[in-house]
Amino acid sequence: MPRIFISTAEVSGDVQASRLLAELHRRHPGRYQADALGGEHLRRAGANILEDLSTQSSVGLLEGLPFLLRSVGQLRRFKRILEAGAYDLAIFVDGQGRNLPLGVTARKLGIKTVYYFPPPVSTWGAWNIPRMRPYDLLLCPFEADHLLYTKAGCASVYTGHPFCALPDSWDPRAQRRQLGLPEDGTLLAIFPGSRPQEIIELTQTFLEACRLLRDGRPDLHFVLSLAHGEYREQVCDQVAHSGLPVPVVERESDRILQASDLLLTASGTATLQAAFFHVPMAIAYRVSFLTEWLARRLLKVRHIGLPNILAARTVCPEFINRDLSAPKLAAWLSKMVDDAPARRAVSDELAALRRAIAVPDPYGRMVDGIEAVLAGKAAASRLGA
């Protein structure tokens, strides 16, 4: 029975790794044993959770300082786990700060290594490529990264984004019934993010924008998607303080997006998830001045929202740092609420984006690549994948 070590860094990584593990188990029931640094999603997929770190991630330099000392000790502990685990394969999911050092340890121990969501060299630059060459396989959701890695001699397979496996048709009214939400009227979803800094920096601003938007619109309804139960008390307190009727729903992001007409979201994975459900959105983020300064010099693209990056233009507006305020968010949302044709035009653009990047059976491609690595076959990028 092959033993697999899986390392994730935050909630979205936990979700995507759980779906990959579920596909491994579906194809070969009982064949794989998995230990994971992950959360509830991986646990439900059958992994033995060594430690849940899904609420300890951050974006930025200053933002990561609260976790720095803890991370050093954790890294030592996780290296010891790798040394003692007798693993056949290690799968690292995003989370470069922790996973790149763990990858070095795994390779020194002779463990085969796969990196799922490797560093996005098409947007951040190619300096990570030399560190990725030793991996047995890179599972690239984005074709631009796959092409750069392959050109540089890395073993890479273009899997397509896992969101390509999401349903391509749905009934919004049926989803609202399942969520206990009004079937009529306009539904605005609120996704304040999955990291502590996002919950702190964005939730109050999002709720204030909704308060401004609600005046004179009795048919406007709200729902807030909670990424992790650890944030429930904090978020519910903010909702109560806002005075808005906003139900807080955990682990139902797909259903919420299928039910929604508009979205107010933190930048991140949720932006592409929403695009695949054709939901027009305002994308927001707030980081320290130092992080913004560095990002503007390192990023090779003008946007931070994944739909805009993939479309190479602004499909959905971005509100970052000084451009982020409740009145600005409310102004754009107001136009979308009141102008159904404009809302439909954005939705159509997102639908076209989904069609343009759709790849059949992304999880099947991932599992094929992983099983080729375990079997000691040639790198997947040379197998015609």
Query: Does the pLDDT value for residue 381 go beyond 90?
Result: no
List the single range of 65-69, 78-82, 326-330 with lowest mean pLDDT: 65-69
Question: CB within 8 A of 102, min separation 6: which ones?
Answer: 7, 75, 78, 79, 82, 90, 92
138, two tokens: 């890179």
Query: Does the pLDDT value for residue 9 go beyond 90?
Result: no
Query: Does the pLDDT value for residue 37 go beyond 50?
Result: yes
Query: Across residues 98-112, what is the average pLDDT?
Result: 95
264 contacts 333 by C-beta, under 8 angstroms = yes
pLDDT at position 177 is 97
What single DSSP character describes residue 231? G
89 contacts 4 by C-beta, under 8 angstroms = yes
Please report the domains of the chain, with CATH numbers, ordered by start residue.
Answer: 3-165+359-382 (3.40.50.2000), 172-357 (3.40.50.2000)
The strands making up 248-250's β-sheet, listed across from edge to edge, are 248-250, 220-226, 186-191, 262-266, 281-285, 318-320
List the single range of 162-171, 212-221, 239-248, 280-289 with lowest mean pLDDT: 280-289
pLDDT at position 291 is 61
Q: Which of 120, 328, 89 is nearest to 206 (CA)?
A: 328
The per-residue pLDDT for range 269-278, each reduced to its tens digit, is: 999 999 999 9
Q: Which amino acid is at 260?
A: S
Query: Does the pLDDT value for residue 101 go beyond 70?
Result: yes
Three-state DSSP state, 9:
coil
Q: With 0-12 CB in 10 A as exposed, 13-18 as middle and 19+ as buried, what is 131?
A: middle
Q: Which of 228, 206, 244 is nearest to 332 (CA)?
A: 206
Which residues is 37 bridged to in the sheet? 7, 51
The per-residue pLDDT for range 141-172, each reduced to its tens digit, is: 999 999 999 999 999 999 999 999 999 999 99
> Which DSSP string do the residues of 88-133 spell out, in sequence order?
SEEEEES-HHHHHHHHHHHHHTT-EEEEES---HHHH-GGGHHHHT
Query: Across residues 133-140, what is the average pLDDT?
Result: 97
